């Protein structure tokens, strides 16, 4: 029988065959979505759904459309930033009513008439990515190389492009795509006569190199990485008419270093969201597309940082809608006035109409609900219950996605949409707890049909900002349950810094990404063990990836009295090597707050290692570069501390390769068994 690690790798974490990327036309008559043909097929096709009859229709099958081809290098980078594991059609750009849609496939541009099911290939450069359909449905703007091109019935031509190797037009810079949620760099004017285009100059950024040691004849690849305390890309904006003439937009970059968001909606000037370098101020600007001048219409400030919230700011009729932290609540704010009740923590703005704003929000951190909030603060719960929910609206049609402990589902006006995703071999059965004085949300999982005897413990956290593990959703616990079924009590805890609990909980890590985070893992573990004799605290391991990898290594360095072995995957080890936008939000600038970097530097604590530690890192990782692990390993060697390093050649931060993803779990299991003296094996002395 196939193992769970193999199944999870083959199905790309059970995303293959599941419907995704849903669009509901603004008149509610058409619904579009992506889905592959089966549980092990990563190639997504484009489908339509009739919201009245429930009928599905295959619109575009990439396998039938063209032979399998490679994607442009820029598209591969975009997918890495978006953590995209799918292939085929992974994104598309529709008209507001979803009657026409464009997409790129293998660097080529296609235009589809949805009702007729008729499509045509448009002339293109052959390396297209991020195509965007004009409001009249006849022209498509797309990124090619370092510039933007326009294609349609009149042919294909270059609109604008960088004149040097360090300047590009139309794409998001690294920190915007990786940290701000802005993955694009060009926007059509509502009348289709021009585009707002971002200009990115990476020349100020330090040049780093990513090598392929297993292929010594291959030269290393250059990359520009904006590490904490160093220069960012210089980002500009311009309104570019279809004839190539342009008007530069002054978005006050002398004060606001970051362009966090752009919206250009009908009958409105462009709306820009900008941030200061320290992220303690965020301003909303309107831009005049004729003169390029901007006007600040609103400003949000915070002593710690101002959070970027998906879907906001935006216009709500004639009013400006923002999402802001007021006290210990993340609120919907209209023209500066809070309108959402304090019991709701707003997660995302989904849609606005003249009557209401549709958001996802939480009353309890474990669940995410879909609610409508009206001008007077009245709340209507659209969909609630255990799990994580989101929705897409258009006209009278609603597409509702639910992820709960039973799995995931998509319904459109109550009609279920078929999922071809496989059912996992494991069946997570987490028990949820709120532990200690700080009421830390915690889940614990045991082997199926466990007899109640004491078990070695495996802490399995992420533990950091912007990622929540303890939710009533099956997908959060599949790997945790597999480890539990191998003979562990697996504990997952969301301590300070994680989302969903409120602004004060998130901001408790400002200036220290180590102490509060680790303390809460220890408190959750000990609080659970105080009432549950099934946890053997003499054998405690911890594993994690990315921030979780940092936390795992930190745990055995600082608390060897609690943690007896750790697996640290792609860990940050020195925050001065991580990017500007993320790192400086929490630790400040290293020139002005150097003590924050000292107190969180794992390399400085290398001499404290006395427990087994396995470091795993992809050599092609351009997010948490392999220098993190190599520098920590060097520090261990200098201090005479035994450790293990597993380098993954050609592997990025996502570890998308099927064999790698499967064997990584098996390697970790073997290491933990040996390290914690399970099954007679011991860690070598």
Q: What average pLDDT score do residues 148-156 get? A: 95
Report the SS3 class of residue 524: helix
What's the confidence (pLDDT) of residue 685? 27
- 487 phi, psi to nearest 5 deg: 115, 25
> What length does the chain have?
685
Using alpha carbons, select from 379, 323, 338, 329 the residue that is nearest to residue 356: 379
- Inform me whether the pLDDT recorded for 300 exceeds 50: yes
Is 594 in the same domain as 576? yes
Q: What average pLDDT score do residues 651-676 get? A: 89
Is 252 in the same domain as 384? no
- Inform me whether the pLDDT recorded for 96 exceeds 60: yes
Ordered DSSP codes for 479-492 = HHHHHHHTT-EEEE
Is 198 in the same domain as 152? no
Is 365 in the same domain as 480? no
Q: Are 33 and 45 in contact (CB under 8 A)?
A: no
- Inform me whether the pLDDT recorded for 63 exceeds 60: yes
Q: What average pLDDT score do residues 67-85 get? A: 58
Strand partners, 400: 391, 411
Distances (CA, A) of 204 to 2, 168, 274, 593: 50, 14, 20, 23
- Inform me whether the pLDDT recorded for 85 exceeds 80: no
Q: Average pLDDT of the chain?
A: 94
Is 209 in the same domain as 123? no
pLDDT in tens, 532-543: 999 999 999 999
For residue 235, whether the previous peptide bond is cis, meaning omega lies within 30 degrees of 0, is no
Is 436 in the same domain as 573? yes
Q: Are 168 and 209 in contact (CB under 8 A)?
A: no
Ordered DSSP codes for 174-241 = HHIIIIIS----EEE-TTSSEEEEEEEE-TTSPEEEE--TT-TTSPPEEEE--BTTSPPPEEEEEEEE
- Inform me whether the pLDDT recorded for 454 exceeds 90: yes
The DSSP call for residue 585 is H
CATH of residue 5's domain is 2.120.10.30
- Inform me whether the pLDDT recorded for 81 exceeds 60: no
Is 210 in the same domain as 152? no
- Inform me whether the pLDDT recorded for 220 exceeds 80: yes
Is 71 in the same domain as 90? yes
Q: What average pLDDT score do residues 579-603 get? A: 98
Residue 186 is assigned to a structural domain of this protein: yes
Is 297 in the same domain as 387? no
Residue 425 is assigned to a structural domain of this protein: no
Stretch (H or E) spanning 395: none
Residue 576 is assigned to a structural domain of this protein: yes
pLDDT band at 79 (very low <50, low <70, confident <90, very high): low
Using alpha carbons, select from 66, 83, 62 the residue that is nearest to residue 12: 83
What's the confidence (pLDDT) of residue 297? 98
Residue 598: is it exposed, middle or buried by C-beta count within 10 angstroms (0-12/13-18/19+)?
A: exposed
pLDDT band at 684 (very low <50, low <70, confident <90, very high): very low
Rounded CA-CA distance 72/549 in Å is: 31
Q: Are 277 and 258 in contact (CB under 8 A)?
A: yes
Residue 564 is assigned to a structural domain of this protein: yes
Residue 683 is assigned to a structural domain of this protein: no
pLDDT in tens, 465-511: 999 999 999 999 999 999 999 999 999 999 999 999 999 999 999 99
- Inform me whether the pLDDT recorded for 174 exceeds 90: yes
Is 511 in the same domain as 580? yes
Q: What average pLDDT score do residues 219-240 get? A: 96
Stretch (H or E) spanning 665: helix 658-675
pLDDT band at 680 (very low <50, low <70, confident <90, very high): very low
Ordered DSSP codes for 359-388 = EEEESSTT-BEEEEEETTS-EEEEE-SSSE
pLDDT band at 340 (very low <50, low <70, confident <90, very high): very high
- Of the chain, the percentage scoring pLDDT greater than 70 comes to 96
Q: What average pLDDT score do residues 229-240 get? A: 98
pLDDT band at 84 (very low <50, low <70, confident <90, very high): low
Strand partners, 295: 286
Alpha helices in 236-292 (DSSP H): none
Q: Domain count of the chain? A: 4
- 230 phi, psi to nearest 5 deg: -105, 180
Query: Regarding predicted confidence, which is higher, 396 or 267?
Result: 396
pLDDT band at 266 (very low <50, low <70, confident <90, very high): confident
What's the confidence (pLDDT) of residue 64? 82
Residue 233 is assigned to a structural domain of this protein: yes
Domain end call among 111, 139, 161: 161
Q: What average pLDDT score do residues 353-380 get? A: 95
Domain span at 100 = 1-161
What's the confidence (pLDDT) of residue 681? 38
What's the confidence (pLDDT) of residue 374? 96
pLDDT band at 99 (very low <50, low <70, confident <90, very high): very high
- Inform me whether the pLDDT recorded for 626 exceeds 70: yes
Query: Regarding predicted confidence, which is higher, 107 or 680?
Result: 107
Q: Are 112 and 60 in contact (CB under 8 A)?
A: yes
Is 549 in the same domain as 665? yes
Q: What average pLDDT score do residues 224-228 get? A: 97
Q: What average pLDDT score do residues 281-287 get? A: 98
Least confident of 213-227, 321-335, 370-384, 573-587: 213-227
CATH of residue 501's domain is 3.40.50.1820
Q: What average pLDDT score do residues 581-600 get? A: 98
Residue 605 is assigned to a structural domain of this protein: yes
Residue 209: is it exposed, middle or buried by C-beta count within 10 angstroms (0-12/13-18/19+)?
A: exposed
Is 517 in the same domain as 654? yes
Residue 316 is assigned to a structural domain of this protein: no
Domain end call among 136, 161, 186: 161
Q: Are 231 and 204 in contact (CB under 8 A)?
A: yes
Using alpha carbons, select from 545, 529, 530 the residue that is nearest to residue 489: 529
Domain end call among 370, 387, 415: 415
- Inform me whether the pLDDT recorded for 70 exceeds 50: yes
Using alpha carbons, select from 459, 532, 453 the residue that is nearest to residue 491: 459
């Amino acid at each position: 029988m196939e193992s769970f690690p193999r199944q999870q790798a083959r199905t790309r974490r059970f995303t293959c065959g599941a419907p995704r990327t849903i669009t509901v036309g603004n008149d509610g008559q058409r619904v579009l979505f992506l889905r592959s043909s089966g549980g092990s097929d990563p190639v997504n096709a484009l489908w339509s759904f009739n919201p009245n009859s429930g009928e599905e229709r295959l619109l575009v099958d990439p396998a039938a459309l063209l032979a399998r081809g490679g994607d442009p290098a820029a598209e591969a980078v975009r997918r890495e930033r978006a953590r995209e594991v799918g292939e085929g059609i992974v994104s598309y750009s529709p008209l507001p009513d979803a009657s026409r849609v464009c997409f790129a496939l293998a660097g080529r541009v296609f235009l589809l008439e949805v009702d007729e099911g008729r499509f045509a290939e448009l002339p293109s450069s052959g390396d297209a990515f991020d195509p965007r359909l004009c409001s009249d449905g006849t022209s498509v703007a797309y990124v090619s190389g370092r510039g933007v091109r326009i294609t349609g019935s009149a042919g294909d031509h270059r609109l604008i492009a960088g004149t040097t190797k360090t300047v590009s037009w139309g794409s998001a810079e690294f920190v915007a795509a990786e940290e701000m949620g802005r993955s694009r760099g060009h926007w059509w004017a509502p009348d289709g006569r021009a585009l707002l285009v971002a200009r990115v100059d990476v020349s100020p950024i330090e040049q780093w190199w990513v090598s392929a040691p297993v292929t010594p004849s291959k030269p290393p690849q250059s990359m520009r990485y904006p590490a904490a305390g160093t220069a960012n890309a210089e980002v500009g904006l311009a309104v570019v008419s279809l004839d190539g003439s342009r008007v530069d937009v002054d978005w006050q970059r002398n004060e606001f270093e970051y362009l966090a968001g752009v919206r250009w909606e009908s009958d409105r000037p462009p709306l820009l969201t900008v941030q200061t370098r320290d992220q303690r101020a965020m301003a909303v600007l309107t831009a005049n597309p004729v003169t390029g001048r901007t006007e600040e219409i609103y400003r949000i400030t915070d002593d710690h940082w101002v959070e970027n919230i998906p879907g906001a700011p935006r216009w709500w009729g004639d009013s400006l809608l923002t999402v802001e932290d007021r006290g210990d609540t993340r609120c919907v704010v209209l023209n500066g006035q809070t309108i959402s009740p304090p019991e709701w923590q707003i997660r995302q703005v989904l849609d606005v109409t003249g009557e209401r704003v549709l958001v996802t929000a939480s009353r309890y951190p474990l669940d995410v609900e879909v609610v409508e909030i009206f001008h007077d603060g009245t709340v209507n719960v659209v969909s609630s219950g255990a799990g994580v929910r989101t929705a897409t609206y258009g006209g009278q049609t609603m597409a509702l996605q639910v992820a709960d402990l039973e799995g995931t589902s998509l319904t459109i006006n109550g009609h279920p949409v078929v999922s071809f995703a496989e059912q996992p071999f494991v069946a997570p059965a987490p028990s949820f707890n709120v532990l200690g004085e700080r009421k830390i949300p915690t889940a614990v999982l045991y082997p199926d049909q466990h007899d109640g005897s004491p078990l070695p413990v495996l802490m399995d956290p992420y533990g950091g900002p912007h990622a929540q593990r303890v939710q009533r959703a099956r997908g959060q616990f599949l790997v945790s349950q597999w480890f539990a079924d191998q003979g562990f009590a697996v504990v997952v805890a969301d301590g300070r810094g994680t989302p969903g609990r409120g602004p004060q909980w998130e901001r408790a890590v400002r200036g220290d990404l180590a102490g509060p985070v680790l303390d809460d893992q220890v408190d959750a573990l000990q609080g659970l063990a105080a009432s549950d004799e099934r946890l053997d605290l003499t054998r405690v391991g911890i594993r994690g990836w990315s921030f979780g990898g940092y936390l795992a290594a930190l745990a055995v360095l600082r608390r060897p009295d609690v943690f007896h072995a750790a697996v640290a995957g792609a860990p940050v080890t020195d925050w001065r090597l991580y990017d500007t936008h993320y790192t400086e939000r929490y630790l400040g600038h290293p020139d002005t707050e150097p003590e924050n970097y000292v107190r969180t530097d794992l390399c400085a604590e290398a001499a404290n290692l006395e427990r087994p530690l396995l470091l795993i890192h992809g050599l092609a990782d351009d997010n948490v570069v392999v220098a993190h692990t190599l520098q920590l390993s060097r520090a261990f060697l200098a201090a005479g501390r035994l450790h293990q390093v597993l380098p993954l050649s050609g592997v990025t931060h996502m570890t998308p390769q099927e064999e790698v993803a499967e064997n990584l779990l098996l390697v970790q299991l073997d290491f933990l068994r040996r390290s914690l003296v399970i099954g007679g094996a011991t860690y070598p002395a």
